[in-house]
Structure 1
Amino acid sequence: MYMKFIGAVSGSLTGSCTFLYHEESKTNILVDCGMFQGEIKSDKKNARNFAFNASKIDVVLLTHAHTDHCGLIPKLYKDGFTGEVITTEATKKISKLMMLDAGKISRLYEKQHCDKVRFSCIEYAKSKTIATDLRVTFSRGSHILGASSVNIAWKQEDIFKNITFSGDVGCNSEQESYLPLLKENHDVYPTTDYLVIESTYGDRIRGKQYKNEEKRVDYLVDIIGKVILKNKGKLIIPVFSLDRCQSIMFDMYKAFLKLEASKYKKYLGEKIAIARKNSTKHYYENAVSCKTFSSLIAQVNQVYAEELSKEKIKKNGEKSFIYLKKSAAETFKENSLDIERFFSKGFTNDDGHKFYHWIEPTSKKSKKKEYDYIDDIFIASSGMGDFGPVKNIILKYIEDKNTTILLTGYAPTYTLSGKLKNKEKLIEINKKQYKVNLNIKDMSAYYSAHADQKQLLDFVFTTQEKNKNKRESIVFINHGPTDVAKDTFKNKIIERSKKKNKKDRVIKMVHIANEDWFDLNTGEFDKNYNHPCFESLTAMIKILIEDVAFIKNFLIENKIDKKPI
């Protein structure tokens, strides 16, 4: 078995894609096929030809539905791929939505190419044979709904060797579980020979205050109480449509429950009788109203409604949710909430606080309808503020001192959310200057779905204590923001490995992932190997020349030719 990293290496944090070749069955495998995002030349990288012949790929194994992992799959079909994409049912549903959305923005492929994607769904912990003596197994992750780590096993002589790809590692684990909705990550198999681990936050440890579920909800209560109830202002929350919106929606429900017992109760006013179809409800006269915008949010919510409510029957006959964590399930049960209705329709609680969805009209006549701004809280995509309904909402309130914007996710400095995060006083939007008077709050550290250094180390080292079949593992680090960050994480792995904790996995070697071929049978790099599926050296050199020319022009056009990249 040979392996070559295509994306998320050599200075790129995104564009996850790894090529594997099983010689015995002549099977070509891709683990993920994602878009490059947030880089100077992302668009160019996404538009250029694949480094390999797409028609020769036999199967794609998809870890999860974020665009930097699935966004180029339709382009793969456009270029001749005809095989299956193996993934979980939840990832299948969500990635369909994300790929369609990415296609509209990038214009790299059309809906017809998205429709060509052939999914084959797999359950957690159940192996699927993809060729003779070659099988795959998916394990549960907590990064987003449906996320997985992927284990590939192949027979070498009389034993099966295997490699595990972490995908993006989530924050909920047996050691600590604080994000609101999803069950904990499964441990990596103790018999894994190779482990490919992401390192997005491999160089930092998140503060304890950000890993406390109760403090996170209390922070939200305080913002709602001050901004809306006390100051009669508006709250804008730019969100990523996938997972961030659903997590905040659940936390918002819990925050609403706490308002009556908080110091802001006096601002709720009196309870008044509201007639309903078959009953009369008593709601606070100043009950808080929250609305989400965007059809993509509504569509992703529908998938969460369907998948979070799914259960499986365990060996002892008891039912267990596949994705939904125990504490979240208890909240739904204690408050008599229907999971499907909660995410697909929204809710109105016993105090009158409501959370509902606004879906953009599709008819030509209704498109002229303006957004309804009577609500108190607006949750809208995109999380970075440059696209989608949230941009119009920010424009309306950017100069209003009673409005607060609550940031909940990653936002580069060049994006609208990033500029607000940096507290720029004047911001240009649509070629017009705006004075920033609104208030800025940041909860992104509370909601980050990427494991930090400590959690990544636990993911690497944690094994089943009683398992006597542990093997020494070789680790590859990819998906890091900088070489320094990856080196920092590498040194931390080596440092912990030297302690030789009895419960820890034994680490034989740690590599920073690069684009050289690696022979998984011998455990060594093979710089002389070249797969016929890949373009010639001349073609690769041409790509490099184009890249250099592109960067040079970019630097000149932006007058930063004397600054380091």
Structure 2
Amino acid sequence: MRISFHGAAHEVTGSCHLVECCGKRILIDCGMFQGRAELTDANAAKFGFEPAQIDAVLLTHAHLDHCGRLPLLVKRGFKGEIIATSATRDLARLVMLDAAHLQMEEERHHHRHGRRGGSHEALYDEMDALDAVDRFGRNAQYRKPIELFPGITATYHEAGHILGSASIELTLSEDGKTRRVLFSGDLGPLGRPLLNDFDPPAGVDVVVMETTYGDRTHRSLEASVDEFTQAIIATERRGGNVIIPTFALERAQEILWFLREGMEAGEIRKSLKVFLDSPMAISATRIFARHEEALRPELAKMIAHGRDPFQLPELHMTRETQESMALNEIRAGAVIMAGSGMCTGGRVRHHLRHNLARRDASVIFVGYAAEGTLARIIIDGAKHVKLFGAEIPVQAQIHTINGFSAHADRDDLIEWLGRTGHPSKVFLVHGETRAMESFAKAIGSERVEMPKPGESFEL
């Protein structure tokens, strides 16, 4: 029994872990690297294993940094089964097709300008993404074991991160030895309005866990919602727009939920125009209504009774490019939610170009921003940023509200780990080095490993 790490090792993207047991090779996630230019180049590099020799992929959830290289895996020879929850399957299809579309658009753009090769070449196209969708097989249900192969069983557990997200428990039996290995996937904070709390199994032997916020705690959700509401009210008084770089899965839906709640409580003007300027977020919001089994019971009950928990009086869904471009003519009184959350691409960069230099505008960051991303550069206090070849002064009000994060903070991570029992080994992944080192001290570093890319361990 062995495990090796091929992504999210001393970084927060590119999750990809390989387990070898009973002559089988099983991949946990196959995500895309995001952020710095060298990470973009890493997406096109060899995987560190032969895709054709992988027997199965177990997918924890549908974020791009966990599923984004599945089409490339298939393109390079993978012919096994991909297993995920039903909600993850629907969302992953959306995410992979969107990624393929964006890559092809970028490639065409650079070809038009006479630039070929390098990081601008698409990793895969939409047909490759559909080929990956075809590899999805059985749908996992929480706490119902699936026999993958003789001696290897997988059980999915609620992770509370995004719709359909799971921690995956592998029970491995080989040469008279049995080991229970638990992969956290990405974990959500406790007490969120849309999803159930994480629910890990107890008594596991080895844990592989994320540490995105392993070195800090979030503000309370109540305080974060209040700050968010006040930022919108203050921006309206100044006569500007609010730009919210938004992750399409979970964050967009949660922000819509809190906007609706604020309007119903009389704190936010009901006539406020809100634009969801993200085709993927629009589609993801529709997928939510199809998966009542993955939602909190009270939210599922709302949907079952015909109430749309994400509908606002002046909510406008802008799918078409021309509709999105027209938003840049709005000078005041609009809340514009657009992807991507880290501002690495997508429509939000156009809205930042038109609003960052305006003192009456606000930019509200409501999620994690990896090192090297435009979002992190702005959050860290840059006075100017480069957008579409132009230097744009940062004069808008910048708000960073980490209480909205879909990731568990240090205290929640400790709580999750405590519920797993007393594992003899804890591998820390999906975190920047300082976050992992801080978390290792918090839990007792003598049982901790912080694997490097490509590093392998006996289980």
TM-score w.r.t. length of structure 2: 0.87
> For the residues of structure 1 that align with 2:194 and 2:203, how far apart are their CA atoms?
30
- Asked if structure 2 preserves the Cα contact closer than 8 Å seen for 1:136 and 1:151, the reply is yes
1:204 maps to a residue whose letter is R
Cross-structure match for 2:107: none
- Asked if structure 1 preserves the Cα contact closer than 8 Å seen for 2:82 and 2:136, the reply is yes
Change over 3 Å in CA distance of 1:418–1:478 after alignment to 2:
closer
1:449 maps to a residue whose letter is A
Instruction: Indicate the SS of the match to 1:91.
Output: helix
- Asked if structure 1 preserves the Cα contact closer than 8 Å seen for 2:355 and 2:361, the reply is yes
User: Alignment partner for residue 136 of structure 2, among 108, 114, 119?
Assistant: 119
Cross-structure match for 1:438: 396
Task: Report whether the alignment pairs 1:93 with 2:90.
Answer: yes
Instruction: Indicate the SS of the match to 2:71.
Output: helix
Deviations 1:7-41 (A, max 9, x none): 222x3332211111122xx2111111111222341
Deviations 1:291-338 (A, max 9, x none): 11121111111212222xx2xxxxxxxxxxx322256567x48xx973
The structure whose RCO (Cα within 8 Å, separation 6+) is larger is: 2
Task: Report whether the alignment pairs 1:377 with 2:374.
Answer: no
Cross-structure match for 1:215: 223
> For the residues of structure 1 that align with 2:350 and 2:438, how far apart are their CA atoms?
41
CA-CA distance at 1:150 after TM superposition? 0.3
Cross-structure match for 1:393: 351
User: Alignment partner for residue 72 of structure 1, among 62, 69, 72?
Assistant: 69
The alignment's C-alpha RMSD in Å is 2.7
Question: Structure 1 unaligned runs (5+)?
Answer: 269-283, 311-321, 349-353, 464-469, 496-507, 521-565
CA-CA distance at 1:171 after TM superposition? 0.8
Instruction: Indicate the SS of the match to 2:204.
Output: coil
Cross-structure match for 1:297: 281
2:220 maps to a residue whose letter is K
Cross-structure match for 1:356: 316
CA-CA distance at 1:368 after TM superposition? 10
Instruction: Indicate the SS of the match to 2:294.
Output: coil
Q: How does 1:476-487 map to 2 (within 5 A)?
A: 476-482=427-433, 484-487=434-437
Cross-structure match for 2:443: 493
Deviations 1:191-241 (A, max 9, x none): 3111111122222233xxx223x333322332232222x334322211111
> For the residues of structure 1 that align with 2:382 and 2:7, how far apart are their CA atoms?
34
- Asked if structure 2 preserves the Cα contact closer than 8 Å seen for 1:220 and 1:255, the reply is no
> For the residues of structure 2 that align with 1:49 and 1:108, how far apart are their CA atoms?
12
User: Alignment partner for residue 429 of structure 1, among 372, 382, 387?
Assistant: 387
CA-CA distance at 1:416 after TM superposition? 3.9
- Asked if structure 2 preserves the Cα contact closer than 8 Å seen for 1:54 and 1:81, the reply is yes
Deviations 1:329-357 (A, max 9, x none): 67x48xx9735x444xx332xxxxx3231
Change over 3 Å in CA distance of 1:447–1:132 after alignment to 2:
same
> For the residues of structure 1 that align with 2:443 and 2:56, how far apart are their CA atoms?
32
- Asked if structure 1 preserves the Cα contact closer than 8 Å seen for 2:163 and 2:295, the reply is no
Instruction: Indicate the SS of the match to 2:198.
Output: coil
- Asked if structure 2 preserves the Cα contact closer than 8 Å seen for 1:89 and 1:122, the reply is yes
> For the residues of structure 1 that align with 2:305 and 2:235, how far apart are their CA atoms?
27
1:491 maps to a residue whose letter is K
Change over 3 Å in CA distance of 1:356–1:305 after alignment to 2:
farther
2:412 maps to a residue whose letter is Q
Larger Rg: 1
> For the residues of structure 1 that align with 2:39 and 2:27, how far apart are their CA atoms?
20
Deviations 1:244-292 (A, max 9, x none): 1111111111111223xx5x8xxx6xxxxxxxxxxxxxxx7xx212111
CA-CA distance at 1:160 after TM superposition? 4.2
Instruction: Indicate the SS of the match to 1:116.
Output: helix
User: Alignment partner for residue 53 of structure 2, among 52, 56, 60?
Assistant: 56
Instruction: Indicate the SS of the match to 2:213.
Output: coil
User: Alignment partner for residue 234 of structure 1, among 234, 241, 245?
Assistant: 241
Instruction: Indicate the SS of the match to 1:250.
Output: helix
CA-CA distance at 1:66 after TM superposition? 1.2
Cross-structure match for 2:217: 205
CA-CA distance at 1:414 after TM superposition? 4.8
Q: How does 1:339-354 map to 2 (within 5 A)?
A: 339=307, 341-343=308-310, 346-348=311-313, 354=314
Instruction: Indicate the SS of the match to 2:32.
Output: coil
Change over 3 Å in CA distance of 1:405–1:65 after alignment to 2:
same
Change over 3 Å in CA distance of 1:338–1:225 after alignment to 2:
farther
Change over 3 Å in CA distance of 1:148–1:392 after alignment to 2:
same
Aligned length: 435
Change over 3 Å in CA distance of 1:238–1:368 after alignment to 2:
closer
CA-CA distance at 1:142 after TM superposition? 0.9
CA-CA distance at 1:186 after TM superposition? 0.6
- Asked if structure 2 preserves the Cα contact closer than 8 Å seen for 1:238 and 1:379, the reply is yes
CA-CA distance at 1:57 after TM superposition? 0.8
User: Alignment partner for residue 252 of structure 1, among 259, 263, 268?
Assistant: 259
> For the residues of structure 1 that align with 2:185 and 2:429, how far apart are their CA atoms?
10
Task: Report whether the alignment pairs 1:460 with 2:417.
Answer: yes
> For the residues of structure 1 that align with 2:428 and 2:381, how far apart are their CA atoms?
34
User: Alignment partner for residue 458 of structure 2, among 506, 519, 526?
Assistant: 519
Deviations 1:366-423 (A, max 9, x none): 6897337376211111223342222222222333332222121233565443343344
> For the residues of structure 1 that align with 2:232 and 2:323, how far apart are their CA atoms?
31
> For the residues of structure 1 that align with 2:383 and 2:324, how far apart are their CA atoms?
32
Instruction: Indicate the SS of the match to 1:296.
Output: helix
CA-CA distance at 1:95 after TM superposition? 1.1
Deviations 1:440-471 (A, max 9, x none): 2222x1111221222111111125xxxxxx67
Change over 3 Å in CA distance of 1:296–1:491 after alignment to 2:
same
Change over 3 Å in CA distance of 1:323–1:58 after alignment to 2:
same
TM-score w.r.t. length of structure 1: 0.71
CA-CA distance at 1:77 after TM superposition? 0.5
CA-CA distance at 1:147 after TM superposition? 0.8
